[in-house]
Structure 1
Amino acid sequence: MRFDRIDRYLRGDHDGPYLPRTATEEYKLLAKRAISNWLPLVVKTTAQTMAVEGFRRTDTAPDTAPAEWQAWQANRLDGRQAAIHRSALTYGQCFVTVLEDPALPGQARIRAVSPRRMIAFYDDPEADALPMWALRVDAVPASSDQAAHGWFYDASGVTELSIGGKEGTKALSFTAHNLGVCPVVRFAPEIDLEGRVLGVIEPVITLQDRLNQGVFDQLVVQTFGAFKVRTISGLAPELVRDPETGEPVLDNATGKPRVVPIQADASRFLVAPDPDTRFGQLDETPMTGYLEAVEAGVRSLAAVSQIPGHHLLATLLANMSAEGLKAAEAGMFRAIEEFKKTFGESWETVLGLCAQIAGAAPDPAAQVVWRDAESRSLSQTVDALGKAAQMLNVPPRALWRLIPGVSATDVEEWAQTAAEDDPATRLADSLSKAAA
């Protein structure tokens, strides 16, 4: 299957480099060692720049955390969101289910599901935010006699299923969710008008195979041709002789006299008694071309995946100015901005379902706040925000959320502290206490 192949390559189980049919065990060992898995780095480099750190509703004050964000914190999504983003980037899609927690009424339970375990059917696969129905299967049984455990999601509820086996498919239980829609949200970084999804791994699998072949060729040359070879011609071999009789010792397998092996290494000086003996040398194979071929493969991988070359090759970072570094990363951040738009819509749908479960009305204009991951210093950001407050009369509190690394929880805490330190507030508290 398509997703199984992507998963296999992500874990380093690649198709091996080309080998002739007569390859020896030494060549097969080198082929195993030639697997250089760059694909996890392609996923991590993109995923590590994407993190939701806040949520804003149009009907809630900027320094107040809405109910949706409380559900976010309760489900520990500050940390769990990374796995969802990585899965969506890897396979081209990932699913998230949103249901009421049976143990905590009014509290949403958000769970991520791998696309290898779930399928969803859409009326319009490109435009619909939610599917008509979705089917989740834990694992495919090893035997046809065994049943698989699954769940069927639709607009009315969740049906627990026993799929296949001797008794066939049957419903085990049904739980209504009262949401009116199928509570399964898809995260897809790239989707076309026909509903086809594409991740960051599948387009570069061919380049990964090319890299493995280049590394294999390099290892072969490094192992068998990277050293000078000494040659000797016209030298009669010295025979192994019996110490008692002085007669040559015959080899049991061939019946021929055994030859004393020539001890040739860097610490020995070769001499021969025969004046017709000639010593020669075969030069080593230059490694430069093979190293450059591997580097060219990495550059191609960086270009196709829109990952800056210096993230994959440290040698490209030498003597790079700040302007050059920003220009080199521009392509990656353009791709990340596109991913943030699609993932942001998915997170807003997830949090809208959380609001519905909490008894609040979803805000169609609400937005998630992404962490700023671009290469800029804190002093530059604060200076720009200060000028915005002074020259454009932007309220300082509205700028708190734009400071890198500041979450919605931090903004809410700052607002509470500012209210406590406000002189008018302190005076009002003092008067109320005196009146009491």
Structure 2
Amino acid sequence: MPQPAVESPEWWRDRLYEKLSKRSGDTEVFDAYYECEHPLPHLHEKARAPFRRLLKMSRANYCELVVDAFVGRLEVAGFQSDVEGDADQAAWRLWQENNLDGGSQLAFLEAAIHGTAYLMVSPASGGGFRITPEHPTQVIVEYRPDASGVPAAALKLWLDDWTAKLCCTVYLPDRIYKFEAPEPKAGGRPRWSRREVTGEEWGGTNVLGEVPFGELANRPRMLKPGASELRSVTGIQDRINKTISDRMMTQEAAAFPQKWATGMEIPLDDNGQEIEPFDVAVNKILIAEDAGAKFGQFAAADLSGYLKAKVEDVHDIAAITSTPPHYLLGSLVNLSAEALKAAEAGLIHKIYQRRRFLEEGLERTMRLAGFASSQARIVWKSPEWRTEGELVDALVKMGSLGVPREVLWERWGATPQEIERWRKLGEDALDRALAGDVAAEYGPKPTAPASGPVEG
């Protein structure tokens, strides 16, 4: 079968499908770790069946805590504009209309797990734009090799379970091409054909004039795509699971310490076989008639080594991922506010660093929806947690230095929409106060006399 021409729709389809399939296979590993579907700890094959229940119980999912501690502090508060007008309010309305308070959180979560996620911009049927979060196993974007950061093409792939067909759409800056294929067998390649949509021309115009995706990359490098937050800790997670499984098997074997008895005759059955003289249980007493009988038990297994090994592995995860140790260990021992702040300093720094790259994708998304960067600059909620007393004290001191009140409100954590509402409330209150001062100084305005005959 002849190969498609380079940069033809079919060439992009096959190229991006292959890349997406490879990436999905790699990233599904991290998805399994986040969902607590870790590989079971290794045991000898003969021992796996009896201890399978214990192996499944040994999974302690620290990967989920690492991701959630990071994503939980990524929240878009609004937009700021450097131009006159209500561009920032319009951008926020678009954000709300597309339910992106929750949609952006979904995209941030997938980016942290898989290394990247996407926001897709498409024209809405009633005018305006529709913005949807897209999963990294269904979308892939390729950039021009001669122009860094400029998208050349994108592919969106999904399985239509209504028709049992594999569907894909190729997005080029000027055109959009749709394909379909019967669902392929495992390991097989799809046999693509054109997907005709009623009322649409195949190879229709891309009205945006650009590849319609904003990529939310997590910790990208210059020549490498975004990377999962879990990339460096899956091995440590396996170590923790192994330690827990070993501890549980030790507990299983040593729940009742082995007993011993000496100085007594062991009874025999009719066939001359020895009979175990005692049925040992926690609610039974051992009694022997032999005068020289003695009883005892072996020492219980020491589990402290297992517990210490697990704690050390958790500390390794905390150090590598900049996650505060008390988030993972769940223990606080007389820590001061300064100590807690120092423990979270690494996480806060990581969040600020990751946000720079996520912000690029968000700004591109808003630009595709018609907002220039000067009209829709992203405003994030602060990732730092402070007590209200600390924050108020700091703001009062800043206010005494002449810092404008709008800046103080922003430092407080107010969204651009709240700041605008507070400013308007202040202006209205000032207008009412000024109107009251004028009335108090000059009295009410005189009223015109009623018309009627004038007496002479």
| 8 Å Cα contact 1:126-1:195 kept in structure 2 | no
In the alignment, is residue 322 of structure 1 matched against residue 337 of structure 2?
A: yes
- 1:150 paired to 2:168: yes
Counting only pairs closer than 5 Å after superposition, residues 101-250 of structure 1 correspond to structure 2 as 101-102=124-125, 104-105=126-127, 107-124=128-145, 127-128=148-149, 130-139=150-159, 147-163=165-181, 168-173=192-197, 174=202, 175-233=204-262, 235-238=264-267, 248=270
Structure 1 residues 26, 235: closer, same or farther in 2, change over 3 A? Answer: farther
CA deviation vs aligned residue, 1:334-386 (integer Å, no higher than 9, x gap): 111101111122212212222x1xxxx61348521111121312333233333
Residue 49, structure 1, aligned to residue 49, structure 2: no
The alignment covers a number of residue pairs equal to: 405
User: How far did residue 331 of structure 1 move?
Assistant: 0.8
Listed as ranges, the gaps of 5+ residues in structure 2 are 1-24, 184-189, 440-445, 447-456
Residue in 2 that maps onto 1:70? 93
User: What value does the CA root-mean-square deviation take over the aligned residues?
Assistant: 3.1
Partner of 2:388: 378
| Pair 1:7-2:31 in alignment | yes
Q: 1:286 aligns with which of 294, 302, 309?
A: 302
CA distance in 2, matches of 1:178, 1:24: 58
Moved more, 337-346 or 16-25: 16-25
The more displaced of 363-372 and 296-305 is 363-372
- Paired AA for residue 160 in structure 1: K
Distance between the aligned counterparts of 1:26 and 1:162, measured in 2?
47
- 1:87 and 2:105 are equivalent in the alignment: no
**1:124, distance to aligned residue in structure 2 (A):** 4.5
Q: TM-score, normalised by structure 1?
A: 0.84
Give 3-state SS (helix, strand or coil) of 1:422's partner.
helix
Secondary structure, aligned partner of 1:22: helix
Q: 1:275 to 1:261 in 2, by over 3 A?
A: closer
CA contact (8 A) 1:45 1:307 kept: yes
Q: Deviations over 1:170-228 (max 9, x none)?
A: 24245534222111111012111113321101221111111100101110111112542
- Per the alignment, residue 253 of structure 1 pairs with none
The aligned amino acid for 1:159 is Y
8 Å contact from structure 2 (residues 81, 87) kept in 1: no
The one-letter code matched in structure 1 to 2:336 is: S
TM-score by length of 2: 0.80
1:147–1:267 Cα change, 3 Å: closer
1:271 alignment partner, SS class: coil
The answer as to whether partners of 2:366 and 2:376 remain within 8 angstroms in 1 is no
CA distance in 1, matches of 2:330, 2:146: 41
Cα deviation, residue 426, structure 1: 7.3
Structure 1: gaps spanning 5 or more residues: 241-247, 251-255
How many percent identity over aligned positions? 25
For residue 413 of structure 1, what is the aligned residue in structure 2?
421
**Distance in 1 between the 2:296 and 2:408 partners?**
77
| Contact 2:233 2:317 (8 Å CA) reproduced | yes
Correspondence 1:395 to 2:410: no
Corresponding position: 1:96 with 2:104:
no
After superposition, what is the alpha-carbon deviation per residue over 1:392-414, rounded to whole angstroms, capped at 9, x for unaligned?
x332234323322x222212222
